[in-house]
Amino acid sequence: MPQVTRRTVLTAGVAAAGVVVEPTIAVEAPATAAAKKPSLEMNVNGKVSRLGIDSRTTLLDALRDHLHLTGTKKGCDQGQCGACTVLVDAERVVSCLTLAVAAQGKRVQTIEGLAEPGGKLHPMQQAFIDQDAFQCGYCTPGQIMSAVACVAEGHAKTDEDIREYMSGNLCRCGAYPKIVAAIKQARGQMEQG
């Protein structure tokens, strides 16, 4: 008498139920992500670079992870804190919510590109130092880039304006009064220059 095992019972049961067991189908592996990465040309701080990156890459990740410009900070990564603020064609954007491809053909400026080539600090950078407008400094690159645009937009005429138009840049250290003082200091120099 043939030996009855768990396997033979299961096989018989499957056959009786009319279940057709499909052979395993070999699925061709998808092309590697690297092969699909488009080539992207970016002008950052006046230097043009060509990057092979996924089209879903944010501008923030392109700057930090691919161009190694780590001055731009990642805070919330959700568009809420302003730590990642950079300028695109002189307008401030939160780079965590901006795709790198959207910056193609435009001029991106980060905190690394603010000082003069000889190293002289931008008036806004100098003012943040003079006014001691930071504590931990994590929000500072975003604050400075936003402040530069705030003055250029003409939105730094009064303390109230500065607070309103800088409200997208949060500082968990609460350095706000000194940030306002720094912007007022730099405003005078920027308007003269």
In angstroms, rounded to a whole number, what is the distance separating the alpha carbons of residues 47 and 85?
A: 19
With contact defined as beta carbons under 8 Å apart, do 95 and 85 qualify? Answer: yes
Residue 122: C-alpha distances to residues 111, 160, 166 (Å): 10, 24, 18
Q: List the one residue from 54, 65, 77, 112 that touches ligand FES (CB under 6 A).
A: 77
Smaller CB distance to ligand FES: residue 8 or 80? 80
- Rounded to the nearest whole angstrom, what is the least distance from the CB of residue 113 to ligand FES in the complex? 19
Task: Supply 81's token pair.
Answer: 């804190």
With contact defined as beta carbons under 8 Å apart, do 173 and 135 qualify? Answer: yes
Smaller CB distance to ligand FES: residue 90 or 173? 173
Q: List the one residue from 66, 88, 99, 137 that touches ligand FES (CB under 6 A).
A: 137
Nearest to 86 by CA among 75, 72, 100, 99: 72
Q: List the one residue from 61, 64, 69, 74 that touches ligand FES (CB under 6 A).
A: 74
With contact defined as beta carbons under 8 Å apart, do 54 and 37 qualify? Answer: yes
Nearest to 131 by CA among 189, 74, 170: 189
- Rounded to the nearest whole angstrom, what is the least distance from the CB of residue 13 to ligand FES in the complex? 57
Q: List the one residue from 94, 103, 181, 182 that touches ligand FES (CB under 6 A).
A: 94
Residue 141 engages ligand FES in binding (rule: CB under 6 A): no
Residue 83 engages ligand FES in binding (rule: CB under 6 A): yes
Q: Report the site for ligand FES in 2-61 (rule: CB under 6 A).
A: none
Residue 82 engages ligand FES in binding (rule: CB under 6 A): yes
Nearest to 149 by CA among 92, 81, 110: 92
Q: Which residues here bind ligand FES, judged by CB under 6 A?
A: 74-77, 79-84, 94, 96, 134-140, 171-173, 175
